[in-house]
Amino acid sequence: MSGYTPTQRLRSAPTPEWIAGIRARFPVERTVDEVLTRKLTHRGDPGEHRTDVAVLAERLLGYLHATTGQPDLAFGGLRRLTGGASKEQFTFDLRWRVDSEPTSRTLILRMDPSESIVETHRLREAQLLRAMHGVVPVPDVLWVEPTPDALGHPFLVAGFVEGTVQPEGGDKASGLGMYFPPPLRAALKDQFVEHLAAIHTVDWAAHDLSAFDRPAPGTTEGNAWSLGTWERIWHEDVLEDHPIVERAALWLREHLPVVERPVVVHGDYRSGNFMYTDDHRINAVLDWELAHLGDHHEDLAYTASDILGCPDEDGRTLVCGLLPRAEFLDRYQQLSGLPVDPERLFYFEVLIYYKMVVIAVATGRRVAHGRRTHLDAMMNLISGFGYVAVSVLQRLLDTGPDGARPPARAAG
């Protein structure tokens, strides 16, 4: 894997031999490999990422005509949404026939940029949303296209959900460190835990998740694929090596836990990724693109991480600005019936900070410098957040849970 310098990583596509080497070194799920390999193959494509909304509207209309078989459908109002650190998002209005009945809806288009802060697979996201329909509140998926053939980039189309993501006056990037006033906090906190427990206890094997590899229970497969994904992305995207990150990857590999019972791991369950109504009811759990099958402790460690928390009026850090950590974990165990192992939690705390570093320090910096995303300014901002995560990662590796040394053997 030598001979591919930081400058080449930024400016050109790697050789087929380099791609083959990294694929062999870090085995990942089939569809994850598909999107990561596509990213590398197109890395040397010229030009910045630009989306001409008029051209997009024309191509989307052509796709809808072909997909529905209805040349007389009414389409209009395509407009870009703010936010969305990893995908371009647009809303549009559509009038068409469903089972011969005229239907009018506002829909949302989620489309990949040339390169994203996280490269993910639209079919995986669509299948998870469909599996979760009726389990937790999610947008309904109408169409999905995992190839760039129709619009130039993979995409999915789902129902548009009205609601609030940030409380009035909230201005946090992607909802990180979001403050909820006490009455709103009291109304949302139990729902927040209930939905996570429902995600982890759904019978995922009863649904069409053909885009996912299924880890065998009682093995390390699920955790190995999760770690391998972020290891591979680090080596594909980083512009300069970092000893703490390499140390963390080695520790994570040496302490890889067994997954007794694989569950659906949301992968980004936090404030900023759910919506609520005026009567304080959570009406949509969003951003399923990082979902996979693995260990429930991965979500717990991520959701309860201090970097996503916010202090209350007394200075206590609340999980995602909603409730104390002990209450969050106790309530989760009551609702899910799944155990919470402190040693496992520590392992996944190291993993989630490793993941944050990969996203912010490696991928975010590279796509910003290469101008391969619609949010290059935000990517530069997020890279600073990544170095905070590096500092936390070093502290975790040095001290272990509660100031003790890290566990000397693999969990599980």
pLDDT in tens, the chain (412 residues): 455 565 556 556 788 999 999 999 999 999 999 999 998 988 877 666 678 999 999 999 999 999 999 999 999 999 998 765 578 999 999 999 999 899 999 999 999 987 777 889 999 999 999 999 999 999 999 999 999 999 999 999 999 999 999 887 655 556 677 899 999 999 999 999 999 999 999 999 999 999 999 999 999 999 999 999 999 999 999 888 899 999 999 999 999 999 999 999 999 999 999 999 999 999 999 999 999 999 999 999 999 999 899 999 999 999 999 999 999 999 999 999 999 999 999 999 999 999 999 998 888 777 766 555 555 545 555 666 778 889 999 999 998 876 554 444 444 4
Residue 320 lies in a domain: yes
- Which CATH number is 363's domain given? 3.90.1200.10
- Can you give the C-alpha Rg of the chain in angstroms? 21
- Cα gap 277→96, rounded to integer Å: 27
Classify residue 408: in a domain, yes or no. no
In a domain, 225, yes or no: yes
Is 13 within a domain?
no
Q: Return the structure tokens found at 28.
A: 């990942």
Domain span at residue 199? 173-403
Helix (H), strand (E) counts: the chain: 13, 11
Sign of the alpha-carbon torsion through 268, 272, 276, 281: positive
Examine residue 30 and state whether it is found in any structural domain, yes or no: no
Domain membership of residue 201 (yes or no) is yes
**Residue 152 forms part of a structural domain:** no
Instruction: List the alpha helices (DSSP H) in 165-208.
Output: 182-201
- Looking at the DSSP assignment, which residues form a beta bridge with residue 259? 219
- The reported pLDDT for the residue numbered 412 is 41
d(CA 271, CA 303): 9
The residue type found at 194 is: E
Residue 297 belongs to a domain: yes
The structure tokens listed for 129 are 């949303």
What pLDDT is recorded for position 175? 63
Half-sphere exposure of 50 (CA within 13 A, CB side): 6
Number of domains in the chain: 1
Beta carbons within 10 angstroms of residue 180's beta carbon: 23
Element (H, E) at 153: none
pLDDT score for 381: 58
